[in-house]
Amino acid sequence: MNSKNSVSIIGCGISGIFAALELKKAGIENVQLFDKSRGVGGRLATRRANDGKFDHGIQYIKIDSLLQRPEIRTLIDNKTLAETEEPGIFIGLDGMTNIAKFLTKDLNVKKEFKLLAINEINGSLEMNFENNEKILTDSIILSSPIKQSLEIIEKSNINYNKIHLESLERLEYYLAIILMIESTAPLNLDKKFYQENPEGPISFIADNFKKNVSKKQNFYTLICSPEFSAINFEKDYASINLMLEDNLKYIFGPEYEILSNHKWKYSIPKNFYTEGDSINIGTNNFIGLCGDIFTNGRFDGAINSGISIATKYLKNEI
């Protein structure tokens, strides 16, 4: 594999980040990451509001199987990642997004680049972005949610192996509606910083102050249940918040304020690709697919999938 060849990674979530890190470690010099958002990390997401902060994506991670990886040890040594009082549960200090920011500090990242389609041109791949930029690359790794990656492939003019598409098209994600709330009074949660609720429209509550995310107290992230989110996902936030009013008063009393909402169209995978931790579908050029839906839907699985697709590239599996 020629180290001068260019590799473009679409999606700057944890799979894409670890694919890039693995390629750089192997001596691949020309690696670029593109993300449609203004930040990095995907669901490693943190938001500021009213002088406080909220994690509004992944709330904690389990990485027992990856604790000896140098990238993970560096995150811990630099106090970006920390184990909580609950053994095996890790959080990003000062926000989960800081994990992604730290890992990408030496990577070439282009933000607000939404890929629309790919065209094969004279042995290269031309990437067409929503901002009207066209960039040539030798190889592509799509690490976005699989539905988004398949939409890109459908609009593209590329040669690829269609044999696996039927399995990929069956993959689905749960929807998730998020509320970010400031309360007058603190909550007594079952565990130090979070509580899981198996019944009702609110399935998870996290205390961002106790997580060391917010320096301001009583900042809570609420995740709606998959059932509630699926039924109400297309409604506007005002309607959703009104529907939840009785539940929120039961949890917080009358003194609370919803500071922000968020919707995740691609939250936790419902089902998984079972034929490998990643896949290369390219016939003329390397066109890889990776992400947590190829493994177990968790942070460690997303990392393993990113490493897997980088390994396939390095072995020149076309």
Q: What is the pLDDT of residues 131-190, one digit of tens each?
A: 999 999 999 999 999 999 999 999 999 999 998 888 999 999 999 999 999 999 999 998
Cα 298 to chain centroid, rounded: 10
Q: Give the pLDDT confidence of 216-266 residue by residue, as tens digits.
A: 999 999 999 999 999 999 999 999 999 999 999 999 999 999 999 999 999
Residue 251 identity:
I
Would you call 179 helix, strand, or coil by DSSP?
A: strand
Buried b (16+ CB within 10 A) or exposed e, 256-276: bebbbbbbbebbbbeeebeeb
Determine the pLDDT at residue 250.
95
- As a whole number, the mean pLDDT across the chain is 95
| pLDDT score, position 317 | 56
**Please, which pLDDT band fits residue 39 given cuts at 50, 70 and 90?**
very high
Res 202 pLDDT > 50: yes
* Residues 82-101, mean pLDDT to the nearest whole number: 95
Beta strands in 272-313 (DSSP E): 279-280, 287-289
Predicted local distance difference test score (pLDDT) of residue 5? 87
**The whole model's pTM is what?**
0.96
Q: Which 3 state secondary structure label does DSSP give 259?
A: strand
Cα–Cα dist 264/138, whole Å: 32
Domains of the chain, CATH where assigned: 6-41+104-171+273-314 (3.50.50.60), 176-264 (3.90.660.10)
CB within 8 Å of 279: residues ≥ 6 apart: 164, 168, 273, 288, 289, 290, 294, 309
Position 2 pLDDT exceeds 70? no
Please give the backbone phi and psi of residue 210, each rounded to the nearest 5 degrees, phi first.
-70, -20
Dihedral pair phi/psi, residue 53, rounded to 5° = -140, 150
Q: 299-314 and 14-25 are packed helices; what angle lies between their axes, rounded to 10 degrees?
A: 40
Give first-to-last CA distance, the chain, whole Å.
Answer: 12
10 pLDDT above the threshold of 90: yes
